[in-house]
Amino acid sequence: MQTITAHGASIPALGFGVFRMTEAEVEAVVPAALETGFRHFDTAQIYENEAALGRALAAAGARRDDLFLTTKVWVANYSAERFMASVDESLEKLGVDRVDLLLAHWPGDAVPVERQIEWLNAAQAAGKTRLIGVSNYNRDQLRRAVAASAAPIVTNQIEMHPYLDQSAMVAAAQQTGTALTAYFGMADGAVPRDALIAEIAARHGKTAAQVGLRWLMQQGVITLSKTAKPARLAENFAIFDFTLTEAEMAAITGLARANGRIVSPEGLAPDWVA
């Protein structure tokens, strides 16, 4: 498995996300994901499937040292009373002593970035996570997080796909040494149906979904894939044996449009232009 390095930390470049998956789906697909080769698993408190992921990994006999586990603290737990307690609950559900990466899930509009980062640092200092990062922060928030944190902010997990121009965030992440992690890489199903991407895929003997994932990975982005169907796992994993040309990368990047953002919940999402 290829890795992405940020502040000396190596993170598997391809991950398996369980967003919008039921506990039954998680327990059915995760053993097959392990067999396929996935070792990086991404969940969150709000997904309500941390326990199912923990059970599935244990039942499959996965060695903890072989895994890279990420979870995210939900905004309702952004308080001195709830933050650390919620992390303890996540660890118990996952069946581990610590996760590899703990993220603040959304910046929200109620708790300053600096407080969120203070609590992430405390969780790391207490040995509950190996690494810390953020999710859905805008550029200004990312810079503030990096400035406020005693520990490296290794990643900002963001929506990233061909229809959304994230070049400004890519530049900000490079300036801060922060890796980006991409979610919604299939743009809610638009990528596999895209005629241009399908044409490029045909040249490589690949599917449009594989090209969409490869486009992300070739930018040096940690890429989260997702499927509830075990039969699709091999397809999602087989993206390391081909390379998109510069022209193909540029053509896919050219699909970006002004209204390309899909995920921007009120009260959680920041001002994306900041």
Domain ranges of the chain: 10-185+221-227
Residue 10 pLDDT grade (very low, low, confident, very high; cuts 50, 70, 90): very high
Q: What is the reported pLDDT for 1? A: 79
Annotated active-site residue 47? The verdict is yes
Average pLDDT estimate for 211-226:
97
Tell me the DSSP string of the chain: --EEEETTEEEESEEEE-TT--HHHHHHHHHHHHHHT--EEE--GGGT-HHHHHHHHHHTT--GGG-EEEEEE-GGG-STTTHHHHHHHHHHHHT-S-EEEEEE----SSS-HHHHHHHHHHHHHTTSEEEEEEES--HHHHHHHHHH-SS-EEEEEEE--TTS--HHHHHHHHHHTPEEEEE-TTGGGTGGG-HHHHHHHHHHT--HHHHHHHHHHTTT-EEEE--S-GGGHHHHH--SS----HHHHHHHHTT--TT------TTTS--TT-
Annotated catalytic residue within 47, 78, 137, 183 = 47
Average pLDDT estimate for 56-77:
97
pLDDT above 90 as % of the chain:
99
CATH number of 10-185+221-227: 3.20.20.100
Q: What is the reported pLDDT for 195? A: 98
Average pLDDT estimate for 91-120:
98
